[in-house]
Structure 1
Amino acid sequence: MSPQSVLVPLFKLYLCGIKVLLYQIFNRSFTLPVLPKQNGRVAIVTGGTRGIGFETARHLASLGMHVIIAGNEREEGAAAVRKIHEEGTEGTAEFVFVDMTSLKSVRHFVRLFRDRGLPLHVLVNNAGTMMVPERQTEDGFEYHLGLNYLSHFLLTNLLLDLLKRSGKPGCCSRIINMSSATHYAGVVDMEDLNRRIQYSSHGAYSQSKLALVLFTYYLQEQLTASSCSVTVNAVDPGMVDTALYDNLWTLVQLLKKPVAKILFRTPAEGASTAVYAAAASEMEGVGGCYLYNGQKTQSAGVSYDSELQAKLWKKSCQLVGLQEA
Structure 2
Amino acid sequence: MSINFERSVLVTGGTSGLGYECALVIARKHPNYQIIVASRSDSTSSAKKIHETLKQENVKFLSLDLSHLVKVRTFASDWESHNFPPIQSIVLNAALQFPGDVEYSQDGFEKTFAISHIGHALLLSLLVPYFADATRVVVVSSGTHDPAQKSGVPDAIYNSAEELAHPSLQSVKNDGRQRYSSTKLANVLYTYALDRRLKAMNKKYGKQWTVTAFDPGLVPGTGLAREYGAIGRFVWSRILPSIIPLLRLIISPNIHTVAESGGALARLAIDSDVEGSSGVYYEGLKQIKSSEMSYDQQKQEDLWQWTVNALVSSDDLKEGNWKLYELAGPI
Pick the TM interval, shorter chain: 0.7 to 0.9
Amino acid at match of 1:123: I
TM-score by length of 2: 0.79
Partners in 1 of 2:226 and 2:68 — Cα distance? 22
Question: After the TM superposition, which residues 161-310 of structure 1 pair with which residues of structure 2 at under 5 Å, given as runs?
Answer: 161-163=129-131, 166-167=132-133, 172-184=134-146, 185-190=155-160, 191-193=162-164, 194-197=166-169, 198-199=171-172, 200=174, 201-227=176-202, 228-241=207-220, 242-248=222-228, 258-263=239-244, 264-310=255-301
Once the two structures are superposed, what CA deviation does each residue of 1:54-75 show, in whole Å capped at 9, x if it has no partner? 1111111112221011111143
Amino acid at match of 1:261: S
Q: Choose the corresponding residue for 1:67, options 16, 30, 35.
A: 35
Amino acid at match of 1:311: D
Q: Choose the corresponding residue for 2:117, options 149, 158, 161.
A: 149
Q: 1:52 to 1:103 in 2, by over 3 A?
A: same
Q: Choose the corresponding residue for 2:17, options 51, 61, 64.
A: 51
Alignment of 1:93 with 2:59, yes or no, is yes
Partners in 1 of 2:15 and 2:63 — Cα distance? 11
Partners in 2 of 1:296 and 1:276 — Cα distance? 12
The CA deviation at 1:284 is 1.1
Partners in 1 of 2:10 and 2:240 — Cα distance? 32
Q: How many residues get paired?
A: 279
- Other-structure match for 1:320: 311
Asked if the contact 1:42–1:67 (Cα under 8 Å) also holds between the matched residues in 2, the reply is: yes
- Structure 2 residues not aligned, in runs of 5+: 147-154, 245-254, 314-324
Once the two structures are superposed, what CA deviation does each residue of 1:265-310 show, in whole Å capped at 9, x if it has no partner? 2211121221110111111111111111201111011111112111
Which region of structure 1 is more displaced relative to structure 2, 110-119 or 151-160?
Answer: 110-119
Q: 1:188 to 1:89 in 2, by over 3 A?
A: farther
Asked if the contact 1:148–1:208 (Cα under 8 Å) also holds between the matched residues in 2, the reply is: yes
Amino acid at match of 2:70: K
Amino acid at match of 1:192: E
Q: 1:258 to 1:69 in 2, by over 3 A?
A: closer
Amino acid at match of 1:120: I
Asked if the contact 2:225–2:232 (Cα under 8 Å) also holds between the matched residues in 1, the reply is: no
Amino acid at match of 1:245: A
When the two chains are superposed, the root-mean-square deviation of aligned CA atoms in Å is: 2.0
Asked if the contact 2:241–2:257 (Cα under 8 Å) also holds between the matched residues in 1, the reply is: no
Partners in 2 of 1:160 and 1:217 — Cα distance? 18
Q: 1:261 to 1:229 in 2, by over 3 A?
A: same
Aligned with 1:56: secondary structure? helix
The CA deviation at 1:261 is 2.0
Partners in 2 of 1:149 and 1:89 — Cα distance? 35
Q: 1:255 to 1:81 in 2, by over 3 A?
A: closer
The CA deviation at 1:161 is 3.1
Identity across the alignment (%): 29
Q: 1:271 to 1:55 in 2, by over 3 A?
A: same
- Structure 1 residues not aligned, in runs of 5+: 1-38
Q: 1:232 to 1:253 in 2, by over 3 A?
A: same
Once the two structures are superposed, what CA deviation does each residue of 1:192-238 show, in whole Å capped at 9, x if it has no partner? 22223222212211111111111111111111123231110011001
Partners in 1 of 2:185 and 2:240 — Cα distance? 26
Partners in 2 of 1:206 and 1:250 — Cα distance? 22
Partners in 1 of 2:302 and 2:124 — Cα distance? 18
TM-score by length of 1: 0.80
Asked if the contact 1:195–1:204 (Cα under 8 Å) also holds between the matched residues in 2, the reply is: no
